[in-house]
């Protein structure tokens, strides 16, 4: 019976040829969305699935980073473009600085960081539950279990509400999307960030309602885990945007 314990006999890898390289010690169990079909699952499969989703979220975060980097680079370049004004025959900048409502922005930052913390607590709690579930034991319902997930959703909603307040503040300053370059970038960057956050919150809602929707517990746990990492990334991205808007405002 063929085994994979003995190393295969092959030439030592040289620059020209392909060598055996590292042989994966785990077994990928045929992949796929093992699905919420209420079949008994092996522990290994769940672990590999979790890792895959984490990698998927990491890759998606890279994609989102590139999106924001693209806009940020246009932002930075655009600021430095001089505009040759016909009337004064001189190079001017059309950049109108806007007054950022720092208090509201810091409050929002606090909310998103708090959301990160509560979601992390939720994530770790769920991992403990998942260990029970994988052994076939129903996760014990602990008394006084804090609904971290719901709190996270509230905090996220709070952040979004706070962003709306910031936008309102800018509107009162007369800064809109049109006719004001710095305003355009502000709305675009924060708006995109908010949209992506809403996407993450939608996945959390799925996790929250999962048992009601008859989804397997592990799928919910993976959703919370993936969103946890995603939320941390969104928080980090928020600070990058905040920093960019602050340091490049003049």
Contact pattern from residue 167 through residue 186 relative to another protein, giving x for each residue in contact according to CB under 8 A and a dash for the rest: ----------xxx-x--x--
Nearer to another protein, 121 or 240 (CB): 240
Lookup: tokens for 115:
């959301």
Contact between 37 and another protein per CB under 8 A: yes
Contact between 63 and another protein per CB under 8 A: yes
Nearer to another protein, 77 or 138 (CB): 77
Contact between 10 and another protein per CB under 8 A: yes
Using the rule CB under 8 A, give the single segment among 41-49, 120-128, 203-211, 222-230 that binds another protein.
Answer: 41-49
Closest contact distance (angstroms) between CB of 39 and another protein is: 8
Number of residues that bind another protein (CB under 8 A): 70
Nearer to another protein, 20 or 140 (CB): 20
> d(Cα 239, Cα 187) in Å, to the nearest integer?
16
Task: Please select the residue that binds another protein; options are 43, 67, 90, 127, rule is CB under 8 A.
Answer: 67
Give, as ranges, the residues between 105 and 164 that touch another protein (CB under 8 A).
none
Q: 106: closest CA among 116, 114, 98?
A: 114
Convert the chain into a string of H (helix), E (strand) and C (coil): CCCCCCCCCCCCCCCCCCCCCCCCCCCCCCCCCCCCCCCCCCHHHHHHHHHHHHHHHHHHHHHHHHHHHHHHHHHHHHHCCCEEECCCCEEECCCCCCCCCHHHHHHHHHHHHHHHHHHHHHHHHHHHHHHHHHCCCCCCCCCCCCCHHHHHHHHHHHHHHHHHHHHHHHHHHCCCCCCCHHHHHHHHHHHHHHHHHHHHHHHHHHHHCCCCCCCCHHHHHHHHHHHHHHHHHHHHHHHHHHHHHHHCCC
Contact pattern from residue 13 through residue 32 relative to another protein, giving x for each residue in contact according to CB under 8 A and a dash for the rest: xxxxxxxxxxxx--xxxxxx
Task: Please select the residue that binds another protein; options are 38, 89, 136, 250, rule is CB under 8 A.
Answer: 89
Residues forming the site for another protein (CB under 8 A): 1-4, 6, 8-11, 13-24, 27-35, 37, 41-42, 45, 48, 51-52, 55-56, 59-60, 62-71, 73-74, 77-78, 81, 83-84, 86-87, 89, 94-95, 177-179, 181, 184, 188, 192
């Amino acid at each position: 019976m063929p085994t994979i314990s003995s190393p295969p006999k092959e030439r030592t890898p040289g620059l020209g040829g392909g060598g055996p390289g590292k042989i994966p010690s785990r077994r990928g169990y045929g992949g796929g969305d093992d699905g919420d079909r209420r079949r008994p699952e092996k522990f290994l499969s769940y672990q590999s699935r979790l890792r895959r989703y984490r990698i998927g979220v990491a890759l998606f975060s890279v994609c989102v980073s590139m999106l924001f980097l693209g806009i940020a680079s246009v932002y930075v370049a655009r600021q430095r473009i001089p505009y040759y004004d016909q009337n004064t025959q001189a190079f001017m900048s059309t950049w109108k600085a806007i007054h950022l409502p720092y208090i509201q922005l810091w409050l929002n930052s606090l909310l998103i960081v708090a959301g990160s913390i509560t979601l992390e607590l939720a994530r770790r709690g769920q991992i403990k539950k998942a260990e029970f579930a994988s052994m076939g034991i129903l996760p014990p319902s602990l008394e006084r279990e804090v609904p971290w997930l719901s709190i996270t959703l509230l905090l996220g909603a709070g952040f979004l509400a706070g962003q709306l307040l910031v936008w309102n503040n800018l509107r009162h300053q007369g800064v809109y999307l049109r006719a004001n370059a710095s305003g355009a970038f502000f709305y675009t960057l924060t708006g995109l960030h908010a949209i992506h956050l809403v996407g993450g919150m939608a996945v959390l809602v799925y996790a929250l309602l999962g048992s009601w929707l008859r989804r397997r517990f592990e799928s919910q746990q993976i959703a919370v885990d993936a969103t946890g990492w995603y939320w941390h990334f969104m928080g980090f991205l928020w600070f990058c945007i905040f920093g960019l808007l602050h340091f490049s405002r003049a």
